[in-house]
Structure 1
Amino acid sequence: MVIICEFPSSKSPLGSCEEPPPRRVKEVPTERWEQPPYPHGTRVTYKCRPGYIKLGRIVFECVDGTWKQQLPVTECRNKPCGHPGDTEFGFFELTSGSEFVFGARVEYRCNEGYRMLSQRNYRECQADGWSNDIPHCEVAKCPPVQAPENGRIIMTGAFELGREYSFGQLINFECNEKYQLVGSKELICSSDGKWNTDVPQCQEIICFPPRIPNGNFRPQEDNYREGDTITVQCNPGYRFKTLTAENTAECTKNGWVPDPGCVQKPCDYPVIENGKLSRSLEYGKDRYFPMSLGQHATYMCNYGYSTPSGSPQVHMVCSERGWLPQPKCLKKCQNIHLDNGYFPLERKTFRLQEKVTYTCHTGFVTPEGQETGEVQCQKSGWTPPPKCISE
C-alpha cells in the first residue's frame, strides 16, 4: 500500500500532532513515523498485521493536534482458516475462540477404543492457515496372550497365536483334562489397549477332605484327585443327604458330587404289630408320611393287646432316634375263672410279663403242693397255667 501524506500550507494556524500515529492491535502504519511533530492535515494509511484482513481503507489524519480516523470507520478482522477437517474414528472441539478464524484452536479426541496416533492432537488457525496435519486415530491394540500351562486359548474365527488383538475382541480359555480354571475364563481387549483382567491359571483338580457333621467317611486321605470317591456313613437318626442307591460322592471340578452330607432322618410310616395308627393317619398315610423331626402321631392296639403303659392310646414324636416311644402292642392276659381257686386282684386284664399270685381253696394245692402259686403273663398266655388240685 502507498502512504499518502498531505502537508498543509505554512499559513495554517491550526496545531500540529506532537505524537506519532496511534499504535493499534490489528493494524500497523504502512511506513515508519518516528519524527514528530506532524502538521495539521497529515494523513497516515494503515495495513493489517499478519493474520488479519480488512475491507476498505484505514486512514488517520492529524486534526488540530489530534489523530482522528477518517470515515468510514473500519478495522482489520481475524483472517478465516475454513473448516479444520474431520478425523476418522474421532472428533474435534473448539477450545479457543468461537469461529474458525486466526487465533482459534481445535483439539481432537479419538472415539472409545481408539487412540491418538499423531504427536499433536490439535490444530491452530495461523496467519497462513491451519497448523500441522489433521491428527489421526487408530484402533487400540492389546498385546499378545500366552495360553496358561495345562490349558489352551479358544477363539471364534481365524486367529494367529502371538499377534495383537483389537479393541473389543475377546478370547476364551479352557483347561486340559483333570485341570480346572482359576480366574476369568474370558478376556476382553479394553479401550485403553489393556486386557480387562489377568490370564487365568489351570490348576490340578483337588478335593479336600469334607467336613460331615453327624457322619464320617472313608477312605481318609489328605486330598483327593478328580474321579476319586468316598463312602459316607451317617450317625443313627441321620441319612445321606442325597437319596441315591449308594452313599458315595465323587471328586469333580465342581467339588464333591453329590454333596457328602448327613441330614436328619425323617420318620416313615410305622408298621405296628397288633396295632394301628389313628384313623386319620391310617387313611392319609401317603400324604402324612414321612414326617419331619418334632411331628406327632397317635397309635392304639388291637383287642387282646395293650400299649406298654396300658393307656388306650399313645402319642409319639418323631425324634433323631426315630419314633419315641417306639410303638408296641403287648399281649394281654385275662383274669380267668380258676377252678378250686381264685386271683386276689379284681382286675380284668394284665400286661405282658406281669406276675400274679393266685390262691387255692381249702383242700386244694398247686401242682407244686403249695396253697398259693405264681404265674406270669406271656405271649402264649399264663405261664405256667394256674391250677388247683386236690390234696
Structure 2
Amino acid sequence: MALQSACFLTGLILVLLFIDCKEPPPNTQTEILSGSWNDPQYAEGTQAVYKCRPGYRSFGVIAKVCRSGEWVALHPSRICHKRPCGYPGDTAFGSFDLEEGSEFVYGATAIYTCNEGYKLVGEINFRKCEADGWTNDVPVCEVVKCLPVAEPENGRIVSSALEMNQEYTFGQVIRFECNPGFMLDAAKEIHCSVDGAWSGEKPNCVEILCNVPRIPNGQPISLKNTYKENERLQYKCLRGYSYSGRADAVCTKSGWTPPPACKGNLSFLVRIFGCVFYQLF
C-alpha cells in the first residue's frame, strides 16, 4: 500500500511538471513567428522560433520554449533591433537634419536643405532609411541663377564677367553706364538675388535735356525751348538787377549750373510826386 501511494505521488508531480502550452505568442511589432502552429496543445520543451520583421535584425536566434505551460525566452537579451542604414551622405552647398531621433536606423528620415543662394535640383529633398537601405539619391544643390540682361539703349554694361545673353549666378552684380549726353533713370547697378530675380529693373539711358528756366527779374536771350548736356544758356537781367555770378549757365544732368539768377541793386533814387524813396530789388 505504501508503494502504491509513492507511485501515485510521483506520477502527480510529473503531471504537474510537464504541462502543455497553448500556441506561442503571436507576432509583435518587430518579430514574426516562424512555422505553422495549428495544434491546440504543445508539449513541454517545444521551441518556437521568431524572425525579425523587415527593417530589423537580431544577433542570434530568437526562440521561446514551452516550460510548465508557458512560453519562456531562451535568450531574453536577444531582441530585434532596427537595422542601421549608415551615413545618408552630405550634399555640396547644403546640409541635412534628421526628422526624428539621432540615429541612422530603419525609419529615420534625413531632410536636406540648401545654403542661401542655392536651390534643390528636383522636388525630392529627403532620404528615408528602409529595410534595404536609403531611398533616393543624395539631393543636389545648385546655385540660383538670374536671367540674362541686355545692354540699355545708348548705354552699356561695364562690370559683367560673363558674355552677353548668359545667365548670372547668385550674388553677381551688373553695373551700367550711359553714352555721353545720356543719364541713367534708375540705380546704376543690380544684383542677382537669392530668389533668382534681379534686385531691381534694368535702368534706361535717357537723354540729358534742360528746359528753359524761369528767371526771376531776368529773361533768356536764346529762343530755344530745350538744351542738351553742356549747351549754354545766355540770359540778361532786368533794369535795376545784376547777375548773381555769370551771364550764362551750362546744362548738366543735375540741371543748370550755376543756377541762373538776378539780384537786386541797393538802390537808385526814384522820385514820385516829389518824394524820394530808396528802392530795394
TM-score above 0.5: yes
> Who is 1:215 aligned against?
217
Do residues 73 (structure 1) and 73 (structure 2) align? Answer: no
Distance 1:52 1:90 in 2: 31
Task: Give, in angstroms, the shift of residue 44 of structure 1.
Answer: 1.1
Q: 1:248 to 1:131 in 2, by over 3 A?
A: same
Q: 1:131 to 1:247 in 2, by over 3 A?
A: same
The one of 32, 36, 42 equivalent to 2:46 is 42
Do residues 204 (structure 1) and 207 (structure 2) align? Answer: yes
Distance 2:37 2:257 in 1: 101
**1:172 is paired with a residue of what secondary structure?**
strand
Following superposition of structure 1 onto structure 2, how do residues 1-391 of structure 1 map, counting pairs within 5 Å? Answer: 12-13=15-16, 15-155=19-159, 157=161, 159-212=162-215, 214-218=216-220, 219=222, 222-233=225-236, 240=243, 243=245, 246-261=246-261, 321=280
Q: 1:60 to 1:150 in 2, by over 3 A?
A: same
> Who is 2:271 aligned against?
none
Q: 1:44 to 1:181 in 2, by over 3 A?
A: same
Q: 1:248 to 1:46 in 2, by over 3 A?
A: same
Distance 1:177 1:231 in 2: 23
TM-score with structure 2 length normalisation? 0.77
The percent of aligned pairs where both chains have the same amino acid is 44
Q: 1:220 to 1:49 in 2, by over 3 A?
A: same
Q: Structure 2: which amino acid aligns with 1:67?
A: W
Q: Does the CA-based 8 Å contact 1:53-1:78 persist in structure 2?
A: yes
Distance 1:251 1:92 in 2: 60
C-alpha offsets along residues 30-89 of structure 1, whole Å, 9 cap, x if unaligned? 223344443444321212111112123322233444433334333111111111111222
Question: How many residue pairs end up in the alignment?
Answer: 256
Q: Does the CA-based 8 Å contact 1:20-1:36 persist in structure 2?
A: no
Distance 1:248 1:80 in 2: 87
Task: Give, in angstroms, the shift of residue 247 of structure 1.
Answer: 2.9
Distance 2:39 2:101 in 1: 39
Distance 1:216 1:78 in 2: 94
Distance 2:107 2:241 in 1: 87
Q: 1:24 to 1:239 in 2, by over 3 A?
A: farther
Distance 2:264 2:46 in 1: 117
**1:109 is paired with a residue of what secondary structure?**
strand
Runs of 4+ in 1 over 6 A off after TM superposition: 235-238
- Tell me the C-alpha RMSD between the 2 structures: 3.0
**1:12 is paired with a residue of what secondary structure?**
helix
57-66 or 135-144, which deviates more: 57-66
Q: 1:211 to 1:103 in 2, by over 3 A?
A: farther
Q: Which runs of 5+ in 1 are unaligned?
A: 1-10, 268-318, 323-391
Distance 2:279 2:52 in 1: 105
> Who is 2:275 aligned against?
none
Q: Does the CA-based 8 Å contact 2:48-2:63 persist in structure 1?
A: yes
Task: Give, in angstroms, the shift of residue 201 of structure 1.
Answer: 0.9
C-alpha offsets along residues 263-318 of structure 1, whole Å, 9 cap, x if unaligned? 677x7xxxxxxxxxxxxxxxxxxxxxxxxxxxxxxxxxxxxxxxxxxxxxxxxxxx
Distance 2:132 2:243 in 1: 89
Distance 1:209 1:32 in 2: 106
Distance 1:20 1:36 in 2: 11
Distance 2:113 2:19 in 1: 60
Q: Structure 2: which amino acid aligns with 1:175?
A: C
Q: Does the CA-based 8 Å contact 1:21-1:60 persist in structure 2?
A: no
C-alpha offsets along residues 2-37 of structure 1, whole Å, 9 cap, x if unaligned? xxxxxxxxx734554445423211111222334444
**1:120 is paired with a residue of what secondary structure?**
coil
Q: Does the CA-based 8 Å contact 1:96-1:103 persist in structure 2?
A: no
Task: Give, in angstroms, the shift of residue 106 of structure 1.
Answer: 0.9
Q: 1:19 to 1:203 in 2, by over 3 A?
A: same
TM-score with structure 1 length normalisation? 0.57
Distance 1:66 1:234 in 2: 122
Q: Does the CA-based 8 Å contact 1:27-1:49 persist in structure 2?
A: yes
C-alpha offsets along residues 241-273 of structure 1, whole Å, 9 cap, x if unaligned? 5x3xx23222222222123345677x7xxxxxx
